[in-house]
Amino acid sequence: MRVGYARVSSADQDLAIQIEASEEYGCDKIYQEKRSGTTTLGREKLQEC
């Protein structure tokens, strides 16, 4: 199984490009979230991934 992780820093940014690239790569599951990249704290989807 291929797993992808898409993240943007703010709510007004769009995950679409990252999700599309992950789908093209053949990811079966794509975790996505809108969280700051300055820390991994609070990034639940990253931990699930």
CB 34 within 8 Å of CB 11: yes
Integer Cα distance of 14 and 9 in angstroms: 10
How confident is residue 36, by pLDDT bands cut at 50, 70 and 90?
A: confident
Q: How many domains is the chain partitioned into structurally?
A: 1
Integer Cα distance of 21 and 27 in angstroms: 9
Note the pLDDT of residue 2.
Answer: 96
Note the pLDDT of residue 26.
Answer: 98
Note the pLDDT of residue 38.
Answer: 86
Encode pLDDT of 3-16 as tens digits: 999 999 988 899 99
Note the pLDDT of residue 18.
Answer: 96
Stated pTM of the model: 0.83
Residue range of the domain that includes 31: 3-48
* CA-to-CA dists, residue 35 to 28, 29, 30, angstroms: 22, 19, 16
Coil vs helix vs strand at 48:
helix
The CATH number of residue 29's host domain is 3.40.50.1390
| Partners of residue 22 on adjacent β-strands | none
Note the pLDDT of residue 10.
Answer: 87
